[in-house]
Structure 1
Amino acid sequence: MNLKNTNPTLYYLQRAGFYLLVLVIGVYLLAPFFWAVLTSLRSPGDLFLTPLEFIGAKTTFGNYTDVFANPGFQRGLIYSLIVAVGSVAISLLLGAFSAYALGRFRFRGKTIVMYVILAVSVFPQIAVLSGLYTLINNLGLYNNPLGLILSYLIFTIPFTVWVLTSFVRDIPGELEEAALVDGASPLQTLFLVLFPVMMPALVTTGLLAFINAWNEYLFALTFTSTNRTVPVVIANYSGATQFDQPWGQIMAASIVVTVPLIILVLVFQRNIVSGLTAGAVKG
């Protein structure tokens, strides 16, 4: 029964209510980001204006100029990129091998391994902080990007393995059988046959792991003293005096760090959706 034909008034009220709800949720989610962008485009003196005066104040890009001229922020961007890309690359490589083994082969204790991986992924960072600090310090990796990469693998590898395993299980076994019949080795089958099919899941897990590593703060603060990533650099931003808080520069730095993530999500949104929904529906 079509509600539009039977009760047009109720139909249009429902549609109006739906779009109103969508509008409210959109404003609620985008308002903080909009205000951050607005703050980054205002001079320090405008921060004490009333909201209406603040919105209509003169736009300036001085905060962005100061941020990019800051050597600490420049180094932070480089270190964040090195750490995030390194942790994602290692996670995808190890995660793909592990997912292939867990998703395709039968062996004793496989269920226990999966539950251990899931248990590790739900541990809070603070619970492993002291032990991990001791390990990294003893390995001589304190204040080293390699130490951060090693620490980030704790929460990127379990997530990667868990998502990729469920995806590998749904890949038709005929693909592997055809490759083996043609003389391909298991490694050739994995890299030349399964990896192209796994691309949506690889993109999804890689992007989410990159976002986690890019935004991580606690480990970066604990395991570094000078070679720090962007979140720590932004948190330690200070003004000319101890009473000066450069909110405009802090917001400008936050926008600069956030925009690349938004671009990546928009570029790979199709892969993200297909990767997250893979295995959710059984045919």
Structure 2
Amino acid sequence: MKRMGIAHWIGFVAILIWCLLPVVWMISLSFKPVAETAAGSPQFFPKEWTLDVYKEVLNNPDFLLALRNSFGISIIATVLSVIIATLCAYAIARLDFSGKRMVLTIALAIAMFPVVSLVGPLFDQWRFLGLFDTWLGLIIPYMSFTLPLAIWTLSAFFREIPWEMEQAAQVDGATAWQAFRKVIVPLAAPGVFTAAILTFFFAWNDFVFGISLTSTTAARPVTAQMAFFVGPDQFNPPVSTLAAAAVMVTVPIVILVLFFQRKIVAGLTSGAVKG
């Protein structure tokens, strides 16, 4: 047993190093001067630690505008997706209607559809409709791909909530809407948080839609804006600048995960254990 415990700890440490090594390397690069990365320095940690790269990124107006776009688009897509998914999941979990399984199957198939295959048709359609290079032109695709997963997650929670609690609220004088809003939704809070976090992650981390459906900084998200960073010359990409920007873009995600980690785990493991 003791050997098994040691083996488990060795495996845990090995996996941890394997997962965190790229992150540590990215952070290390972000503190290297541009001249050091341009010279192709092979050492892991910087010879000279500096914050100049972070100052350069924060003083870049295009990056700040793209950061605002990412926050705005991601938050709006998240709120709309969670509201629509909550209503749809409740109907699927509570109502009996023909074709319910087909609806869930189609929703899951949409979530698995390759994003790259839709870029070309969306590009032409968005230009025709005037949605190209707009916030709405990115919010709609984000919602289309995140709604199915959010519906699946929330419907699993609503199925576990007993009917008696909703009926008891209605007996006490609550309307159907009040029982749903004040009883059902709070009980499904882990699923709601999970759906919101997954939606926000998809919108925040997206690159394909962001680079393909925008042409200016009016709606370009921060992940796509990083592709326009310019190095000292065409043969030397701005490695340290990209690393610093990547660290700044990753920080909100890390904060969200640490803050809501229990609710995320509860949402993802819902229905995995019965009895």
**What does residue 250 of structure 2 align with?**
258
**What does residue 239 of structure 1 align with?**
231
What are the within-5 Å matches in structure 2 for residues 66-145 of structure 1?
A: 66-145=56-135
Query: CA contact under 8 A between 2:31 and 2:46: conserved in structure 1?
Result: no
**What does residue 137 of structure 2 align with?**
147
Q: How far is the alpha carbon of 1:215 from its aligned partner?
A: 0.5
Q: After superposition, what is the alpha-carbon deviation per residue over 1:153-206, rounded to whole angstroms, capped at 9, x for unaligned?
A: 111111111110111111111111012212322222221111111111111111
1:38 has 2:38 as partner: no
Q: How far is the alpha carbon of 1:240 from its aligned partner?
A: 4.2
Q: State the alpha-carbon separation in 2 of the partners of residues 166 and 39 from structure 1.
A: 43
Q: Which of the numbers 153, 168, 179 marks the counterpart of 2:169?
A: 179
1:202 has 2:192 as partner: yes
The one-letter code sitting in structure 2 at the alignment partner of 1:215 is: N
**What does residue 7 of structure 1 align with?**
none
Query: Which consecutive unaligned segments of at least 5 residues does structure 2 have?
Result: none
Shifted more, 176-185 versus 258-267: the winner is 176-185
The one-letter code sitting in structure 2 at the alignment partner of 1:125 is: V
Q: Which of the numbers 215, 219, 227 marks the counterpart of 2:209?
A: 219
Q: State the alpha-carbon separation in 2 of the partners of residues 116 and 127 from structure 1.
A: 18
Q: How far is the alpha carbon of 1:56 from its aligned partner?
A: 5.3
Calculate the TM-score normalised by the size of structure 1.
0.92
Q: After superposition, what is the alpha-carbon deviation per residue over 1:101-160, rounded to whole angstroms, capped at 9, x for unaligned?
A: 000010111111111111111111122223323332232111001110011111111111
**What does residue 18 of structure 1 align with?**
8
Q: State the alpha-carbon separation in 2 of the partners of residues 31 and 87 from structure 1.
A: 32
Q: State the alpha-carbon separation in 1 of the partners of residues 29 and 92 from structure 2.
A: 49
**What does residue 6 of structure 1 align with?**
none
CA RMSD of aligned residues (A): 1.4
Q: How far is the alpha carbon of 1:50 from its aligned partner?
A: 3.1
The one-letter code sitting in structure 1 at the alignment partner of 2:51 is: F
The one-letter code sitting in structure 2 at the alignment partner of 1:102 is: I
Q: State the alpha-carbon separation in 2 of the partners of residues 141 and 277 from structure 1.
A: 38
The one-letter code sitting in structure 2 at the alignment partner of 1:83 is: I
The one-letter code sitting in structure 1 at the alignment partner of 2:80 is: I
In percent, how many aligned pairs have the same letter? 36
SS at match of 2:69: helix
Equivalences, count: 271
Query: Which consecutive unaligned segments of at least 5 residues does structure 1 have?
Result: 1-10
Q: How far is the alpha carbon of 1:208 from its aligned partner?
A: 1.3
Q: State the alpha-carbon separation in 1 of the partners of residues 42 and 102 from structure 2.
A: 59
Q: After superposition, what is the alpha-carbon deviation per residue over 1:16-60, rounded to whole angstroms, capped at 9, x for unaligned?
A: 221111111111100000010000001123222332xx5251210
